[in-house]
Structure 1
Amino acid sequence: MGNCFTKEHDDVDGSDHKVDFTGGNVHLITTKEAWEQKLDEAKRDGKLVVANFSAAWCGPCRVIAPFYVELSEKHPSIMCLTVDVDELTEFSTSWDIKATPTFFFLKDGQQIDKLVGANKPELEKKLIAVLDSVAPPCQT
C-alpha cells in the first residue's frame, strides 16, 4: 500500500517538489555525517530513532509526510529523521531501500523494526509497539 518503486518523471521546473518533509521534531538528513551526529545524539539522550527514507517525487511520501511530522510532535521521546533517497543515493542503497517511503526504527543505531509504505495506521502501531518494547518497567 502506498509505495513508490522508481522515479516516475523528471520535473524541469520542480513544481511538484514543494512538499515539506520536515517540521515538528523531524530532522532532514543531508549528509552521512549529519546521520551519524543525530544517531550519536539519540543514543546519548536515550531516544529511539525513526528514519524515513523518502523522495520528493514520491506521491505516498508526500501524503504521509504531514502525519510523520504529527507523530514526531506527539512522541517527543523519539528522534524522527528524513533521508531523501535522491540526495543520499549511495547511503540509501546501503540501507537496501527498494521502495519509498521506508521507515526504520532504531535503538542505539541498530534496526529493531521496519515498515515499507505509506500506511498511517501501521506506522503509528509500529511506533507505539517499539516505544512500549523499550520502555522501562513500571516501578511499584
Structure 2
Amino acid sequence: MKGQQQLKKSKVVKIDSRKSWEHHITNATNKGYPVMVHFSAYWCMPSIAMNHFFQQLASTYQNVLFLNVDVDEVKEVASKLEIKAIPTFCLMNGGAPVDKIVGANPDELRKRINCFIHQKHSPKSV
C-alpha cells in the first residue's frame, strides 16, 4: 500500500517509447506548459543521485511537465536532441529545447528553471 501511495506522489513521468515522448510533448505544448527532461541511465550514478532532487523540483513547479528518459531505452529521442553525456537536463518550450544543463548540478538546475519561469511570466517591457 505504501508503495502505491509513493507512485501516485511522483510528478515525474517516465518515458518508455518515442510514441510516449511525442504524446507528452504534444500535450504540454498544446497546454502551454514548459517541459523539463532528465536524460539518464540506470547505470549512471550521478543520474541516480539526481532523481530525488528532480522529484522535488517536479513537486515545486506545478505548471511544468517533468519527464525522465533513459537514454538506453529511448535512444531515438536522446539522439534527436543530441544528448552526448548523462545526466543531461533539457528545458523545452513549445516542443523545442531552450536550455540544456549537462551534469549533476542541483543549484544550476534550480537557477535555470527559476530564470525561465520568471522570464516567461514577467510582463514584457516596452
TM-score bracket, shorter-length normalisation: 0.7 to 0.9
> Following the alignment from structure 1 to structure 2, what is the Cα–Cα distance between the partners of residues 73 and 24?
8
Amino acid in structure 2 at the alignment position of 1:104: C
Output one character per residue of 1:30-54: Cα deviation in whole Å (capped at 9) or x when no partner.
Answer: 1111111111111122110001110
Aligned residues: 116
TM-score (norm: length of structure 1): 0.78
Question: Is the 1:24–1:69 contact (alpha carbons within 8 Å) kept by the matching residues of 2?
Answer: yes
Q: What is the TM-score of this pair, normalised by structure 2?
A: 0.87
Counterpart for residue 5 of structure 2: none
Q: Which residue is 1:94 aligned to?
A: 80
Deviation at 1:121, TM superposition (A): 0.2
**2:11 touches 2:59 (CA, 8 Å); kept in 1?**
yes
Asked whether 1:80 is paired with 2:66, we answer yes
Deviations 1:86-122 (A, max 9, x none): 1012331222111101011111101111100010000
Q: Among 112, 119, 125, which residue is 1:126 paired with? A: 112
> What's the C-alpha RMSD, in Å, of the aligned pairs?
1.4
Corresponding residue for 1:27? 13
Show CA shifts across 1:56-107 (max 9, x none).
1000001111000000001101000010001012331222111101011111
Q: Between Structure 1 and Structure 2, which shows a larger proportion of helix residues?
A: 2
Structure 1 residues 56 and 39: CA distance shift in structure 2, 3 A: same
Over 6 Å off, 4+ runs:
none
The answer to whether the 8 Å contact 2:91/2:97 transfers is yes
Q: Which residue of 2 aligns with 1:65?
A: 51
